[in-house]
Each structure stands twice: as structure tokens, then as C-alpha cells.
Amino acid sequence: MRISSNGVSGGTQTGTKTRAVASAGPSADVAARLSVFAPILAVAGAFTLAQLVLVPPWLGLGWDEVVYVSQVSPHAPASFFSAPRARGVPLLVAPVASWSSSTVVLRVYLAVLAGLGLYLALRAWRGLFPVRVLALAGALFATLWVTLFYGPQAMPNYWVAVGALICVGCFLRARADSADRAALWGAAAGTALMAWMRPTDTVWVTLPLFVLLVGVRRWWHPRLLLAMSAGLGTGAGAWVVEAYVQYGGLGQRLADASRIQGGLGWNIAVDDQLRSLGGRILCRPCTGDMPHVVVMAWWFVLPLLAALGVAVALRARRGTPTLVVLACAATAAVPYLFLIGYAAPRFLLPAYALLVIPVADALLTLVTGPGGAWRPVVGTLVALGLVGHLAVQYVVLSSTVERTTSARRDWDRAAAELRRLGVRPPCLLTGDTAIPIAYYAGCASGNTRGNNANITREGILRTAERVPVATLVAPGGRPPRYARAWPAHRIAGFRVHVAPTGPQGE
């Protein structure tokens, strides 16, 4: 592939092959495109299958998933939707969750959609890097345990990563060729996808792109600036409107979001992210020992290989795309490494998705580049490193799935016990872990304090006059004052206080 000095593709085998068969008709053109991108298609297909095999579709919904899915599901009343959340995930799951309460159907749908998203995201980089680089980048990203775990889940972070790949790739293509209307639409779509999922993440990912468009004269591209601004406005605009309708204004929503996340500000969370690499899906508070060095090794190797990727790209005269993608990866990681007081491995998915492109470029160069007698040695070391890396990712994924499945099975058992005690829809559940267990039981959930406060003590007592109400108490905890006289029962590790029917005294 020939690349100009500013990183713009000057002609590729991909374009040559597809143009050569264009005259043969639409079917031949489609076949040619699929043939050219067959390695990427194979990676996306394997990713879909790996999700379904390694993350069982019957894995129950997690806490955050319950919040998102309940917004569109008829299975249970909508859970409290706190200030940091956005409406992208409910829209994503609505085609299935709006008519089916089957977790298996939802997981299969999301796994297939995740594979399709990865394919489209990698294709957005056509002409910028060789297909083999894109295919390897996709494979590296798709085999991270955190990618496999969250791909089939109703969570926003994987989709922010897909949107970031689409946005940055199409941005670079549109900047290279002003006549590429597909790239303009792609940049808008990628930005919109991120904005619907997590508006604040979108700002961080696109910050270098907007700086280049506005602050560097030779990067000025009005149509691209308009396209990305429109994409950002669709998702972020809805979030801002909702802020004024439900949260008391934009400033109040941002303040609430910061408070819920522990107060955003300068806070080095690098060590927290390291602790989460061992499979802790939420590290809050993030204490305890670090994972084994073998588990953390890839995290330190990744930026080193990315730096090598810069050297490779500069030598191949495609330095601009590589530097831009690294800038976006860095800004995407900033809030989760330096501005937040806890960690979850999924937070860095957008940064990983962008970083793997220069990493793949570096690895392929190490294996196939000129090296004489050293080439077999380097190739063997790279192969052994990748095999070891895959083994570590599989072990962490397996233990994470096992632990998570067990916890969510307990929630299902608790819901079954509640139904046995007469707490059936319509009903209200309050207290510890009320949100997920309430959804499993088909009840509404309520809390009088904390980040999910949405009801008062008086409101709970009034509700108890009409429908079954119960309060969950975690081991070692005490029931709230209004529930202390209610009959207590033991269910699935919890103590539950069930309100007697009829009017309740103070």
C-alpha cells in the first residue's frame, strides 16, 4: 500500500480489486468486497461465536444491565435512572427486550450485534492500514477477556469502543478525501453512537479531532466538523434535554453525576485499574492485592508496542493516522486513569480498541519485516507471547464468568423466595441490592437514600397499604426503622422484612 507523507492513502489493493469488478454488476461488486475484507469478516464471526461459547447466554442480567433493560422491558417497572446514565443502551436492546424477557434471546442478539459492530468498525479504516493489520487488531481486541465479557451485555462501554473506531477511522478518511461522503456519514454515525451511549466519553475520545479541525489550519474541514458536531448533538442533545426535564438542569445533572461517581477530580486511578485486571468487574472501593504479574503484563506491553507502532508507521509513511489514533486513545483513557476514584475494566475498552491498531502494525512488522536470521527467533517469541496472552485472558474470563454467574443465580433464588413469601407483582422491593432482585422478581425498586434514592419513607408505607412490600437487609446490616416490626425471613443470604397487608403504623 502506498501512503503519502501526510498519512493519506495513495492507492490500495482493496480499491483496485473492487474497482476492477465494478463493471461486472452489483453482485460481483459485493462478492469482491467481501473477499477483500474476508479476514475482518472471519475475525468478527469468530468473535460472535466466542462470546456465545465462553460467556453463556443464560448468564443473568447484572445490576447496571437491569437498570438499562428495565427502561424498555414489560417484565418489571423501570428502575431508577441515575444522572450519569444515557439512553443509548435501552435503545440498543429495545428490539428484543420490549417483547421478550428471555435473557438467552437478549444475549444472542447482543453477541451477533457486537460481531457486526466490530466488522463495521474495522472496515471504517479501509485504505488507512492494510487489511491484515486491521484483522489482527480486531483479533487482539476481541480476545481481551473484558471485550468478550461485555460484548453480549447490555452495557455501553463496548459500543463506545465501536463508535470510537468508526469515528476516528472515518475522520481520517474524510480528511484525506473530501469527496468521500461515506466517510462523512461514518464520522457522524460513530460520534452519534458514542454520544447516545456515554456523552462524556464522547467528548474525551473526540477532543483531539475537534482540536485538529478547529485549531490547525491545514486540518480545517467544515463539512467534517459539521458532521461530527451533528453526531455529538444527537446523543448529547437528548441527554441535555433530559437533564432539564428530570434532573433540575444540566449543571445539576453534571454535579449529581460527579457525586455518584465519588466526586470527579484529580485522582490517580492507575493502580485501581491494575487491580481490576484480575476480573473484578467493579473495583469500588478498590482495595486488596494486585493480580499476579502475569495477569498484568499485557497492560504494560500494550503502550510499548503502540510506541513501536508509531516508528513502524512513520517508516511506512502513514504516521499521521497512527499519531491521531494514539492521541484519541490517550484522551479516552484520561478520565478513568486520573479523574475517578474507582475502577472497572470496561471503562478502558475505547482506549484498547484504538490502541490495538498500531500494536497490530508493530507485531506484523516484527514478524514479517526484514530481519535475516533473527526473523524466525522474533516470530517464535511473538507467537509464544500471543499464546501466553490468550491463555491468561481465557483464565481470567473463565473465573469472572463463574463468579458472576453464581452471584446472579443468588439473585434469581432470592426472587423465587420472595414470590413464595407472597411478594408478587405488582410489588415494591427496597433495601440492599433491591434494584437487580426487584427486576428478577418483577417488582418495582425503591431506595430512600444513596445514589438511587427515588422514594420517601412515607411513600413506602403508603405503597404497603396497596401492594406487597419487602425490604432486603444484607448480612450484618440493620433494617430501616419503618421495617423493623415487619416479619423477617432468611432468603439466599439476605434477611427480608415483608410488610403485613393493610395500613401501617408509624
Assess whether the previous peptide bond of 426 is cis (omega < 30° from 0). yes
pLDDT for position 376: 84
Average pLDDT, the chain: 91
Amino acid at 191: T
Is 151 strand, coil or helix? coil
CB-based contacts of 88: which residues, under 8 Å, 6+ apart?
156, 159, 193, 195, 196, 197, 198, 235
Q: 392 near 273, Cβ under 8 Å?
A: no
Give the distance between the most distant pair of CA atoms in the chain: 86
Is 489 strand, coil or helix? strand
- 259-271 burial: b if 16+ Cβ within 10 Å, else e: ebbeebeeeebee
What CA dihedral angle connects 164, 272, 398 and 380, to 10 degrees?
70
Burial tier of 15 (Cβ tally within 10 Å: 0-12, 13-18, 19+):
middle
pTM of the entire predicted model: 0.92
* pLDDT tens figures, 150-192: 999 999 999 999 999 999 999 999 999 988 999 999 999 999 9
Half-sphere exposure (Cβ direction) of 245: Cα atoms closer than 13 Å: 6
Q: 166 near 193, Cβ under 8 Å?
A: yes
Please state, in angstroms and rounded to a whole number, the distance separating the CA atoms of residues 353 and 391.
20
Partner residues linked to 489 by β-bridges: 496
pLDDT for position 464: 95
Q: What is the pLDDT along the chain (506 residues), one digit of tens a residue?
A: 333 434 444 444 444 444 444 455 666 666 666 678 899 999 999 999 999 999 999 999 999 999 999 999 999 999 999 999 999 999 999 999 999 999 999 999 999 999 999 999 999 999 999 999 999 999 999 999 999 999 999 999 999 999 999 999 999 999 999 889 999 999 999 999 999 999 999 999 999 999 999 999 999 999 999 999 999 999 899 999 999 999 999 999 999 999 988 888 899 999 999 999 999 999 988 888 899 999 999 999 999 999 999 999 998 888 899 999 999 999 999 999 999 999 999 999 999 999 999 999 999 998 987 666 777 888 889 999 999 999 999 999 999 999 999 999 999 999 999 999 999 999 999 998 999 999 999 999 999 988 899 999 999 999 999 999 999 998 888 999 999 999 999 998 889 999 997 555 44
CB-based contacts of 52: which residues, under 8 Å, 6+ apart?
107, 108, 111, 152
SS3 sequence, 9-60? ECCCHHHHHHHHCHHHCHHHHHHHHHHHCHHHHHHHHHHHHHHHHHCCCCCC
Phi/psi at 488 (nearest 5 deg)?
Answer: -105, 145
Burial tier of 222 (Cβ tally within 10 Å: 0-12, 13-18, 19+):
exposed
Closest CA to 255 of 451, 91, 33: 451
Q: What proportion of the chain, given as a percentage, has pLDDT over 70?
A: 92
Is 471 strand, coil or helix? strand
Q: What is the DSSP letter of 415?
A: H
Q: 169 near 119, Cβ under 8 Å?
A: no
Q: 431 near 472, Cβ under 8 Å?
A: yes
Assess whether the previous peptide bond of 335 is cis (omega < 30° from 0). no
Total count of residues recorded for the chain? 506
